[in-house]
Structure 1
Amino acid sequence: MDYKESAEAILQAIGGKENVSAATHCATRLRIVLHDENKIDKAALDRLDLVKGTFSTAGQFQIILGSGIVNEVYKPFIKLIGINEMSTSQVKSAGVKKQNPLLRLVKLLSDIFVPIIPAIVAGGLLMGLNNLLTAKDLFIHGKSLIDANPGIADLAAMINTFANAAFVFLPVLISFSATKRFGGNPFLGAVLGMIMVHPDLLNANEYGAASLAHKVPEWHILGFTIEKVGYQGTVLPVLVSSFILAKIEIFLRKMIPSALDNLLTPLLSILVTAVLTFTFVGPLTRTAGNLFTDGIVWLYSSTGFIGGGIFGLFYAPIVITGMHQSFIAIETQLLADIAKTGGTFIFPIASMSNVAQGAATLAVFFITKDKKLKGIGSASGISALLGITEPAMFGVNLKLKYPFIGAIIGAGVASAFITFFKVKAIALGAAGILGIISMKPSSILYFVIGLVISFVTSFSATLVLAIRESKKEQ
Structure 2
Amino acid sequence: MADNKNRRSDKQIAEELIEAVGGKENVASVTHCATRLRFIVNDEEKIEKEHVENIDKVKGAFFNSGQYQVIFGTGTVNKMYNEVENLGVNGANKAEQSNKAAEKNGNRFQRAIRTFGDVFVPIIPVLVATGLFMGLRGLIMQENILALFGMTPDDVSQNFLLFTQVLTDTAFAFLPALVAWSAFRVFGGSPIIGLVLGLMLVNPALPNAYEVAGQTAEPIMFMGFIPVVGYQGSVLPAFIAGLVGAKVERSIRKKTPEVLDLLITPFLTLLIMSILSLFIIGPVFHSVENVLLDAVVSVLGMPLGLAGIILGGLNQVIVITGVHHVFNFLEIQLLEAFGSNPYNAIVSCAVAAQGGATLAVALKTQSGKLKALALPSSLSAFLGITEPAIFGVNLRYFKPFLAGMIGGAVGGFLASIMELAGTGMAVTVIPGTLLYLNGQILQFIFVNIVAIAVAFVLTWFFGFSDKMLKEVQQPETQVK
- 1:325 to partner: Cα distance: 1.1
User: Which of 83, 86, 90 does residue 85 from structure 1 map onto?
Assistant: 90
User: Which of 66, 74, 78 does residue 84 from structure 2 map onto?
Assistant: 74
Taking a change above 3 Å as real, the CA distance of residues 247 and 144 of structure 1, as seen in their structure-2 partners, is farther
Taking a change above 3 Å as real, the CA distance of residues 31 and 167 of structure 1, as seen in their structure-2 partners, is closer
Q: Say which SS state the counterpart of residue 441 (structure 1) adopts.
A: coil
Q: Count residues with an aligned counterpart.
A: 459
Q: Does 1:294 align with 2:301?
A: no
CA distance in 1 between partners of 2:413 and 2:149 (Å): 30
Q: Does 1:310 align with 2:310?
A: yes
Q: Does 1:249 align with 2:249?
A: yes
- 1:231 to partner: Cα distance: 0.7
Larger mean CA deviation between 459-468 and 367-376 belongs to 459-468
Equivalent pair of 1:429/1:438 in contact (CA under 8 Å): no
What is residue 115 of structure 1 aligned with on the other side? 122
Q: Does 1:96 align with 2:90?
A: no
Q: Does 1:238 align with 2:244?
A: no
TM-score (norm 2): 0.85
Q: Say which SS state the counterpart of residue 31 (structure 1) adopts.
A: strand
- 1:68 to partner: Cα distance: 8.2
Larger mean CA deviation between 245-254 and 91-100 belongs to 91-100
Query: What does 1:6-405 align with in structure 2 at a 5 Å threshold?
Result: 10=17, 14=21, 20-23=27-30, 29-35=36-42, 37=44, 40-64=47-71, 66=76, 70=80, 74=84, 84-89=89-94, 90-97=96-103, 98-136=105-143, 139=145, 147=152, 150-210=155-215, 216-218=218-220, 226-338=226-338, 342-405=339-402
- The residue identity in structure 1 corresponding to 2:107 is N
Taking a change above 3 Å as real, the CA distance of residues 8 and 442 of structure 1, as seen in their structure-2 partners, is closer
Q: Say which SS state the counterpart of residue 373 (structure 2) adopts.
A: helix
Q: Say which SS state the counterpart of residue 333 (structure 2) adopts.
A: helix
Equivalent pair of 2:146/2:152 in contact (CA under 8 Å): no
CA distance in 2 between partners of 1:144 and 1:181 (Å): 49
What is residue 81 of structure 1 aligned with on the other side? none
Q: Say which SS state the counterpart of residue 39 (structure 2) adopts.
A: strand
CA distance in 2 between partners of 1:128 and 1:354 (Å): 21
* RMSD of aligned residue pairs (Cα, Å): 3.2
Taking a change above 3 Å as real, the CA distance of residues 448 and 198 of structure 1, as seen in their structure-2 partners, is same
Q: Does 1:451 align with 2:457?
A: no
- 1:21 to partner: Cα distance: 4.1
Unaligned 5+ runs, structure 1: 79-83
CA distance in 1 between partners of 2:298 and 2:151 (Å): 34
Q: Say which SS state the counterpart of residue 440 (structure 2) adopts.
A: helix
TM-score (norm 1): 0.86
Q: Say which SS state the counterpart of residue 323 (structure 1) adopts.
A: coil
- 1:323 to partner: Cα distance: 0.9
- 1:348 to partner: Cα distance: 1.7
CA distance in 2 between partners of 1:102 and 1:228 (Å): 32
Percent of counterpart pairs with the same letter? 34
Equivalent pair of 1:312/1:416 in contact (CA under 8 Å): yes
CA distance in 2 between partners of 1:193 and 1:318 (Å): 31
User: Which of 433, 436, 440 does residue 433 from structure 2 map onto?
Assistant: 436
CA distance in 2 between partners of 1:237 and 1:314 (Å): 29
- 1:286 to partner: Cα distance: 0.8
- The residue identity in structure 1 corresponding to 2:427 is A
